[in-house]
Structure formats: C-alpha cells, structure tokens
C-alpha cells in the first residue's frame, strides 16, 4: 500500500513539488516566512531608545573670579540617548589662582565643583550644529597661602557652594568619533562664606572649549 502511494507521488512532477514544499515548510523557522510574522522584542523599563552611545571630554573655560581673569579646567562625559539627550557628570576646578587680601595677608582663591550633567544636541548629523547644557551640583571655595599644600597645610578659610552652570555651544563634527565644541554660558554660585569673597565674586559669564571623544 505504502509503495503504491509513493510510486504514485513520485511519478507526478506536481506531486513531487508539493511534497518538497511541505518538507521545506516544516523545517524552516517561522521568522523566515516574510513580513507576516514579527520578531519578538524584549520588555524594557525605558521605551523609545533606538540608539545610544557615550563620550568623554576635557574642557577649558575663561571667566572672571574676584575681578581677575581666571581659567577653569575640567572634564565631563555621559551616556547619549538617541544621539540627542546626554545624561552624565562634570567636574571643574580653577587652574589660575586669583588673589585677595584678608587683614593684611595675601591669599589665593581656590574653587572646585562638580555635579549632574544634562545636555541636548540639536541636529547631530549636521556638520555644524548646536547644543545646550546644564550642570547642577556642589563644590567648595577656600582661601590659602602661597605655596599651599593640602597634604600638610590647613586652608585659611573654606566654604561649601551650590553651583548651577547653564550654557550653549556650536559643535563641529571633525570625525565620526571626535567633536569640537565652542560655546559659553553663565555660572551661578551661592553659599560662599569666606572673607572678602562673596557669591558675586565667583559667579558670572564664561566662554569654553571642549574636545569630545566617543560614540555619537
């Protein structure tokens, strides 16, 4: 009986094609049937994230502290979501040391701060595009003698700070992994409680340069 069925099938080309199609169809995973079946996707806490990357950048800024020109250097970096939103951190510190006088004693002003970094990158695929950024955090300001060594000496005075930094920049896509940013903004400082150095001596506008390396 089985032999007669097989003989009947094999002697008909249409039946042979139908049999091959059935065998192949049974052995192929559902994913290759075409567009009728969709790929399974993992459930995630955050939705709408199509791409991500990250970057790190040294920064240098020119500003005014206590009536003197001052240079602030630092570093920042973060996670880039959908090529436009950055969530990360930043740290800055005075490189130059403006001076002040307290009861006839000449002292240097030191300041450093860091905090949460948030950025928005507009039109990241364009050769030249813009960006907006904000840093919210804290730091400290202190008055020290010339030649101060933090391992051995005590600061003359020290105070904690609350710092907010808001800025904008123009950014140039130099390569696929390198961005050059030039911009400026305003540094808002509150909480200074050291002699002769008020909040207004530490806050003010700045101009900055950043070299951004990463996966954009």
Q: Which domain holds residue 86?
A: 52-215
Q: What gap in Å lies between CA 181 and CA 87, rounded to an integer? A: 17
- Classify each residue of 194-216 as buried b or exposed e, where b means 16 or more C-beta atoms within 10 Å of its C-beta: beebeeebbbeebebebebebeb
Whether residues 129 and 67 fall in one domain? yes
According to DSSP, the residues that pair with 155 across neighbouring strands are: none
Give the chain's domain count.
2
Whether residues 150 and 75 fall in one domain? yes
Residue 202, SS3 per DSSP: helix
Question: Are the CB atoms for 111 and 70 separated by under 8 Å?
Answer: no
Whether residues 68 and 28 fall in one domain? no
Whether residues 29 and 116 fall in one domain? no
Q: pLDDT tens-digit profile of 89-114?
A: 999 999 999 999 999 899 999 999 99
Whether residues 56 and 13 fall in one domain? no
Whether residues 7 and 99 fall in one domain? no
Q: What is the pLDDT of residue 146?
A: 80
Whether residues 93 and 190 fall in one domain? yes
66 domain-assigned: yes
Whether residues 61 and 146 fall in one domain? yes
Whether residues 72 and 177 fall in one domain? yes
For residue 57, the Cα-to-chain-centroid distance in whole angstroms is: 9
Q: pLDDT tens-digit profile of 11-69?
A: 444 443 344 344 334 444 444 444 444 556 666 666 677 778 999 999 999 999 999 99
Whether residues 119 and 194 fall in one domain? yes
Q: pLDDT tens-digit profile of 200-209?
A: 999 999 999 9
Whether residues 65 and 139 fall in one domain? yes
CATH code: domain of residue 110: 2.40.160.20
Whether residues 98 and 10 fall in one domain? no
Where would I find the beta strands (DSSP E) of the chain? 52-65, 68-81, 85-94, 99-102, 105-122, 128-144, 157-175, 178-190, 204-215
pTM of the model: 0.76
Q: What gap in Å lies between CA 201 and CA 216, rounded to an integer? A: 37
């Amino acid at each position: 009986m089985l032999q007669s069925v097989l003989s009947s099938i094999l002697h008909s080309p249409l039946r042979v094609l139908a049999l091959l199609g059935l065998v192949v169809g049974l052995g192929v995973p559902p994913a290759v049937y075409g567009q009728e079946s969709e790929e399974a996707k993992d459930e995630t806490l955050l939705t709408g994230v199509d791409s991500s990357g990250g970057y790190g950048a040294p920064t240098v800024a020119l500003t005014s502290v206590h009536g003197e020109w001052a240079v602030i250097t630092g570093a920042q970096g973060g996670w880039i979501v959908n090529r436009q939103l950055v969530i990360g951190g930043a740290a800055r510190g005075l490189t130059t040391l403006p001076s002040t006088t307290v009861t006839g004693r000449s002292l240097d002003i030191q300041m450093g701060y860091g905090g949460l970094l948030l950025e928005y990158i507009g039109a990241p695929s364009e050769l030249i595009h813009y960006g907006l950024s904000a840093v919210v955090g804290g730091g400290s300001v202190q008055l020290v003698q010339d030649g101060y060594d933090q391992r051995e000496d005590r600061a003359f005075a020290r105070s904690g700070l609350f710092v907010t930094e808001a800025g904008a920049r123009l950014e140039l896509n130099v390569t696929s992994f390198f961005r050059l940013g030039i911009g400026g903004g305003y540094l808002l400082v509150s909480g200074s409680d050291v002699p002769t150095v008020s909040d207004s001596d530490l806050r003010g506008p700045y101009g900055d340069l950043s070299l951004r390396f990463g996966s954009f």
